[in-house]
Amino acid sequence: MTSPSNNSAPSETVISARDLRLTLGEGEAAVEILRGIDLDVAAGETLALLGPSGSGKSSLMSVLTGLERATSGKLTVAGEDFTALDEDALAQARRGRIGIVLQAFHLLPTMTAVENVATPLELAGIRGATERASEELEAVGLGHRLTHYPAQLSGGEQQRVAIARAIASRPPLIFADEPTGNLDTSTGSSVEDVLFRRREETGATLIIITHDRKLAERCDRVVTLGDGLIASDTAKS
């Protein structure tokens, strides 16, 4: 089912999920949000995750990135058994390896744009964090907004800071939840270009949640969720 994005040697599997389930809430209020997901993603693959609102896309991303723990099932990400790691170990496993653009951007309100991007770099022990952060912000068209606080930025600008922050450490795995959802067409496509260019440069695996068919078509593979299950999984021929 997986399709390596190039036709050289078969790529290694970076994500392997078996019968992943996620139940949130307790007792009467319990909702089974992921109902048995099987998914293998090859290194370097670009994958679009589609599906109706409420189908479980963001929840699946939370589990695959270790932000949320699956209720049951088996999950290996970049060689780590995510079902066996505790919260601290998951955070450690993510650092510098998994770049995440959340649907709500989660910028730190007390930090400027450049500080939001530089801080995770510093935490990952990367030198020249501020310079790198400035370059990343320039790449998403925000060179003129470096010292603005999130509250002083538009929704689309905040989204671009979140993207710069996610990719600044050049992680081998990038997840983005509707990264162009708040952007006009031209800003959206230039931000897409930033993501795909970075993928080209680093060979990163790129998983993008989107409602945008055009963006999905740029990916090697399109996976559609429906009601907590994979409804279709199509690789580009």
**Inter-residue contact 219 to 210 (CB < 8 Å):** no
Strands 72-77 and 80-81: antiparallel
Q: Which does 203 bind (CB under 5 to 8 A by kind): ligand ATP, Mg ion, none?
A: none
Which residue among 31, 127, 151, 186 contacts ligand ATP (CB under 6 A)?
Answer: 31
What is the phi-psi region of residue 50: left when phi exceeds 0, alpha when psi lies from -120 to 50, beta otherwise?
A: beta
Instruction: Name the helix (H) or strand (E) containing 176.
Output: strand 173-177
As a whole number of angstroms, the distance between CA 97 and CA 234 comes to 26
As a whole number of angstroms, the distance between CA 120 and CA 115 comes to 9
Which residue among 51, 66, 120, 179 contacts ligand ATP (CB under 6 A)?
Answer: 51
Provide the mask over 84-123, with x wherever binding to ligand ATP is found by CB under 6 A and - wherever it is not: -------------------x--------------------
Query: Which residues of this protein are in contact with Mg ion, per CB under 5 A?
Result: 57-58, 103
**11: contact with ligand ATP by CB under 6 A:** no
Q: Which does 53 bind (CB under 5 to 8 A by kind): Mg ion, ligand ATP, none?
A: ligand ATP
Please give the residue ranges that form the binding site for ligand ATP (CB under 6 A).
24-25, 31, 33, 51, 53-59, 103
